Chains A and B, each alone.
Chain A
């Protein structure tokens, strides 16, 4: 089953371009790192405020950088999918890749649960006001899981053998 998926993906023109061109893969890597920095900058700032840092700034104001974190995620999901289509074999049997996907899932579920359950309360945290315990936990889970996404991503060539 997985073998036939790998063979089919590698036969696609997208996969051919990813691996044959000397420029496309490196450019996607550059974009992937730009997305990474946008995500750490945006989500990191929000997570720190959720955890109780930078209290002088209202939480609703900090939440305005959410779109930059989201842009980072979109860039990285697209470029990540291109890497996978380009060389599926090096990911599908790579434990680090599953670690990365698992914590990406944790991070996304954490955001979804927090936004649906606490969305309205976010707007009420004013300048100088500390955050409730639930907010601190959500911020810590977010920061921890994004770090592990980065960690397992960086480990792809070392735990597995991705290039």
Chain B
């Protein structure tokens, strides 16, 4: 496994991501990764907070429409995250990276669970069941943890 990562790190594409002086290499990839984070987590938090009773004038039937935005943020970060991994493969051997990835997997699963339970329903009026509020709380906390572990990787 480590051999594979070492070989990847020695590849010319990995070197380009890591060492190119071009503003379009590492700086732009990192900027897009930050933007994707803001879009995915920001949109998720707005839905979570609404389900917890904040901004109650927003009809819960409209919440399903926030999910394409979350997915856009997710795929932008899956792609830029892959590029950042190729640029610095050894980061993948750190414990904090494993935590971050695990947290994101659970966060995305919760996002899918929430989407299924909402599906344009008026949660306030009929109650969607399945612990929508519990999912919203877990989602809020997990995205905080994803940001914390992501930032921590810069110091690990």
Q: Which residues of A contact B (CB under 8 A)?
A: 26, 29-30, 33-34, 36-42, 44-45, 54, 56-58, 60-62, 64-65, 68, 147, 150-151, 154-155, 158
Contacts A/B (CB < 8 Å), 26 sampled = A26-B151, A34-B147, A36-B34, A37-B37, A37-B143, A38-B42, A39-B42, A40-B39, A40-B42, A41-B43, A41-B44, A41-B46, A42-B42, A56-B59, A57-B59, A58-B57, A61-B55, A61-B58, A61-B59, A64-B56, A64-B58, A68-B45, A68-B54, A150-B31, A155-B27, A158-B27
What is the bound-complex CA distance between A40 and B39, given in angstroms?
6
Which residue of the partner chain A has the closest CB to B65? A54
Contacts of B49 in A (CB 8 A): 65, 68
- Is A29 in contact with B38, judged by CB distance below 8 angstroms? no
What is the bound-complex CA distance between A39 and B35, given in angstroms?
11
Minimum Cβ distance to chain B for residue A145 (Å) = 14
Selected contact of A37 from candidates B38, B58, B62, B65, CB within 8 Å: B38
The size of the chain B interface, using a CB distance under 8 A, is: 36
Selected contact of A154 from candidates B30, B41, B43, B155, CB within 8 Å: B30
The yes or no answer to B78 lying at the interface (CB within 8 A) is: no
- The answer to whether residues A44 and B55 also contact, given A37-B38, A150-B34, A154-B30 and a CB cut-off of 8 A, is no
Minimum Cβ distance to chain B for residue A156 (Å) = 10
- Is A62 in contact with B147, judged by CB distance below 8 angstroms? no
The yes or no answer to B148 lying at the interface (CB within 8 A) is: yes
Minimum Cβ distance to chain B for residue A144 (Å) = 13
